[in-house]
Structure 1
Amino acid sequence: MKLKNNLAFILSAGLFYGMVACSEPAANVDNSEPSPYTIESEKLTFSLDTLYTEFENPWGMTWLPDGRMLVTERKGEILIFKDDKYTGEKLTGVPAVHEVNQAGLLDIAIHPDYESNGWIYLAYAKDMGDGGVLTISRAKLDGNALVDLEELIVNLPEWKGGRHFGTRIVFDNENYLYYSNGDKGNRPQNAQELDNSHGKIHRIHDDGRIPEDNPFVNTPGAVASIWTYGNRNPQGIIFDKKNNRLWSVEHGPKGGDELNLIEKGKNYGWPEVTFGIDYDGTTITEETEKEGMEQPVTYWDPSIATCGMTLVTSDKYPSWKGNILVAALAGQHIARVEMNGTSYVGEEKLLDGIGRVRQVSQSPDGYLYAIVEATGLMVKIIPQQD
């Protein structure tokens, strides 16, 4: 029996390989013969191994060189997995977070030179004034404890309500750190004005210093860490190391989610231009393009509520190599976006109906993982041999 991309049916029928029946770790799955409950996508046949089912609001994930995986929960916890199993342990020493709505403990990443310097980077909202403020910090591990915590940059002003915090962290080939910060639901002031940190993608040195060649360093009144602006709520960013490109997906309003190629100093238009409307159905603007503002590489209307993303570089998925995988919250799937260089070719829905996918990531050993809200899942995509 082969089921083609109808995960809602599989779940309701109680048939889904891994979700219901598989208790063995992925490393023990025999891929020599297709599972009776494999999923046939357009270019790849695969099955899933369900690794965990008890997340509340997972957000970010990363891997340590010793093979352990760290997954953040927005309420301020970091869970430890080993050999694709939850160890029952959590990191201690996690900084206190401002957990309101979409704010809290968000992304986690290790330094590209982690084996020599041991730095782990965190993006989180902390209490400040009457609200919260996005903070980028780094720390080291002593056993399971975070130690030597350093705040690198605080993204002012503080904001009430917890809306549109972003946030992802990536490093480029020169170890510059990029992070995204949503507009906090305030328009038009935040995203289009350079005197605040919100509605922007930022670039800093790995120790928090501001690079001298950032685009607005010499602009009076501008926040010096800004790399791009006019970004509504960029909840996913990736760096393509082979081609030296930075990509982002921007969570739009009702319609108007965007895939953007992120380039120095550019204005991505929000809310002056958009392909979406407001949640109450009213018009935000009639403009979908304007001189001096970038067009998305592609956009989604209706909105799929884009979130985390990854670039497939692994030889384990040869037919997906070079594709961008985008987590969809409202869409409850993963969008496999095919690219030709920087041009959009097409896309396919994967795991349609699995739940609100918060992040999809590729591990150092080349496997794809996804974490899902509401259903509380972490799953691993297991390619089937031809």
Structure 2
Amino acid sequence: MKNLKKRSFILVVGLAISMVACTEKKVEETNTEPSPFATVTEKMTIKIDTLFTEFESPWGMTWLPDGRMLVTERKGEILVFKDDKFTGEKLTGVPTVHEVNQAGLLDIAVHPDYANNGWIYLSYARPEGEKDVMVISRAKLDGNNLHSVEEIFVCGPAWEGGRHFGSRIVFDNAGYLYFSNGDKGSRPANAQELDNDHGKIHRIYDDGRIPEDNPFVNTPGARPSIWTYGNRNPQGMIYDKANDRIWAVEHGPKGGDELNLIEKGKNYGWPVISYGINYDGTILTELTEKEGMEQPVKYWVPSIATCGMTLVSSDKYPAWKGNVLVAGLAGQQIARVELEGTKAVGEETLLKDIGRVRQVSQSPDGYIYAITEATGLLVKLIPQGN
């Protein structure tokens, strides 16, 4: 414990200073193709406030209308923050989860009409026999107690190993719920086949019912909740309310992390096409494109291990407005990707070497927060007179 406190103190001191995010803009392409973007630098001075240093594998974060922030930990706990401080409280009534490898308690989201219906949504892995299933549940909150927990969707079939569970939850302007589910590490069966829920992004009603206009509702043998397929392990997803668009990032293998525009019924190619290779350096596939399969809007070689993401809509960061911020695990950074419509036109690396960034989110009052894994941090990015 003494060593932990000493390390945390060093991190706090190191991050409490003002930083200038002015790295070279670039887009990581294949090793043989030059970047199509000119070298440009863009300065924005920010202060990095370290708010908390003791997370254990944090994963998701959301805000309640009363200003409280909730942060999940994969082991099955939800920590409560108020006014940027840990209250010392954790939610009770959290469903039983199974933490194994990448599985456990994952994302948390508040219903867009929470003020009237009080629903909070969770994605997590729980045991089913000797294997695990990923579940989407909803519950209500009384003080710090979750109650009225309902499992509204259970992904099948059950799987063992705890690999590639995704998962993020977003709502669109019409109130539909979208969630991502990784392929469970299976190649090639899961992601390219419509008879299972893995390696997909799904669209359901907020109570788990299936919309009748989903793309594969009338396809024999297909899971009717599927919205897109061919997705390897999408651990980041965000809804652009202004433009009615869904963006997602997913892990490649060794190289080939992707930023994708998520559109109805489309096939995102995994594992038939990829810009990555196997972890042992052998060739995964000779194909980087194929008819009927979507190209990523952007990809990373080498991987930064993309995770959570947010879209900057806040006036507090005028130079970043309309950009997506992508958490990087292996990259230990946040990647700021500049967009023009649905095209990526530039990139800047922020908070390099801060630790494995699991999630980055914009709060209701417009500030950017990030959480890290091994270093266990919650940080807030505060603009300084820009």
- What is residue 251 of structure 1 aligned with on the other side? 251
Residue in 2 that maps onto 1:30: none
Structure 1 residue aligned with 2:371: 371
**Counterparts of 2:112 and 2:333, CA distance in 1:** 29
CA contact (8 A) 1:232 1:252 kept: yes
The residue number in structure 2 matching 1:115 is 115
Q: 2: distance between equivalents of 1:154 and 1:229? A: 17
Q: Does 1:287 align with 2:280?
A: no
**What is the match of residue 39 of structure 1?**
20
Unaligned segments of structure 1, at least 5 residues: 1-10, 23-34
State the 1:110 CA deviation: 0.2
The answer to whether the 8 Å contact 1:357/1:371 transfers is yes
Q: TM-score, normalised by structure 2?
A: 0.91
1:153 aligns with 2:134: no
- 2:169 and 2:175 mapped to 1: Cα distance? 12
**Which string of whole-angstrom CA distances, capped at 9 and with x for unpartnered residues, describes residues 147-184 of structure 1?**
00011000001110000000000000001000000000
Give distance in 2, aligned partners of 1:106 and 1:229.
21
**Which amino acid in 1 is paired with 2:362?**
Q
State the Cα deviation string for residues 32-53 of structure 1 (Å, max 9, x = none).
Answer: xxx6x43343341101110100
How far apart, in 1, do the equivalents of 2:257 and 2:278 lie?
A: 12
The answer as to whether partners of 2:316 and 2:383 remain within 8 angstroms in 1 is yes
Q: In the alignment, which residue of structure 1 is the partner of 2:333?
A: 333
Q: Which amino acid aligns with 2:271?
A: P
Q: Which residue of 1 aligns with 2:270?
A: 270
1:21 Cα deviation (Å)? 8.2
- Counterpart in 2 of 1:199? 199
Structure 1 residues 19 and 107, CA gap change in structure 2 (3 angstroms): farther
Residue 105 and residue 371 in structure 1: after superposition, are their counterparts in 2 closer, same or farther (change >3 A)?
same
The answer (yes or no) to whether the contact 1:43–1:320 under 8 Å persists in 2 is no
Whole-angstrom CA distance in 2 between matches of 1:182 and 1:19: 37
Contact in 1 for aligned 2:15/2:50 (Cα 8 Å): no
Aligned 8 A contact 1:108 1:123 in 2: yes
Question: Which amino acid is 1:76 matched to?
Answer: G
Measured in 2, the distance between the counterparts of 1:259 and 1:21 equals 28
Q: 1:173 to 1:19 in 2, by over 3 A?
A: farther
How do residues 82-161 of structure 1 correspond to structure 2 at under 5 angstroms? Answer: 82-161=82-161
Task: For 1:284 and 1:372, locate their aligned partners in 2 and report how far apart those are by CA, in whole Å.
Answer: 30
Q: State the partner residue of 2:229.
A: 229
Q: Distance in 1 between matches of 2:175 and 2:278?
A: 38
1:319 is paired with a residue of what secondary structure? helix
CA distance in 2, matches of 1:305, 1:121: 25
**Cα deviation 1:15-64 (Å, max 9, x = unaligned):** 87x54586xxxxxxxxxxxx6x4334334110111010001100000000
Deviation (angstroms), 1:142: 1.1
CA distance in 2, matches of 1:216, 1:257: 26
Q: Taking every aligned residue pair, what percent have the same amino acid on both sides? A: 75
Secondary structure, counterpart of 1:102 in structure 2: coil
Structure 2 residue runs of 5 or longer lacking an equivalent are: 1-5, 23-41
State the one-letter code of the partner of 1:148: S
For residues 56 and 380 of structure 1, what CA distance do their matches in structure 2 show?
18
Q: Secondary structure at the match of 1:157?
A: coil
CA distance in 2, matches of 1:43, 1:263: 34
2:178 is paired with a residue of what secondary structure?
A: strand
**Is residue 19–residue 49 contact of structure 1 (8 Å, CA) maintained in 2?**
no
Aligned CA-pair RMSD: 1.4
Deviations 1:309-349 (CA, angstroms, capped at 9, x unpaired):
00000000000000000000000000000010001101010
Structure 1 counterpart of 2:255, which letter? G
1:108 and 1:121 in contact (8 A); partners too:
yes
Distance of 2:306 and 2:73 partners within structure 1: 19
Count matched residues: 361
The C-alpha deviation readout for 1:97-120, integer Å capped at 9, x for no partner, is: 011100000000000000011000
- SS state at 1:66 partner: coil
Asked whether the equivalents of residues 19 and 48 of structure 1 are also in contact (C-alpha less than 8 Å), the reply is no
Distance in 2 (CA, whole Å) between partners of 1:163 and 1:173 is: 31
- Amino acid in the other structure paired with 1:82: K
Cα distance between partner residues in 1 of 2:166 and 2:178:
12
* 1:315 equivalent in structure 2: 315
How far apart, in 1, do the equivalents of 2:312 and 2:15 lie? 28
Q: Give the letter for the 1:96 counterpart.
A: T
Structure 2 letter corresponding to 1:305: A
User: Secondary structure of 1:365's partner?
Assistant: coil
Instruction: Establish whether residue 168 from structure 1 lines up as the match of residue 168 from structure 2.
Output: yes
Relative to the length of structure 1, the TM-score reads: 0.91
Cα distance in 2, alignment partners of residues 129 and 15 from structure 1:
45
Instruction: Compute the displacement of 1:228 (Å).
Output: 0.2
- In structure 2, what residue type is equivalent to 1:383? P
- Return closer, same or farther for 1:124/1:63 CA change in 2, 3 Å cut-off: same
Corresponding position of 1:32: none
- Assess if the C-alpha contact under 8 Å between 2:15 and 2:48 holds in 1: no
2-side partners of 1:21 and 1:190: how far apart? 42
Amino acid at match of 2:213: D
Counterparts of 1:288 and 1:179 in 2: how far apart (Å)?
A: 26
| Secondary structure in 1 matching 2:157 | strand
1:62-81 alignment, distance < 5 Å: 62-81=62-81
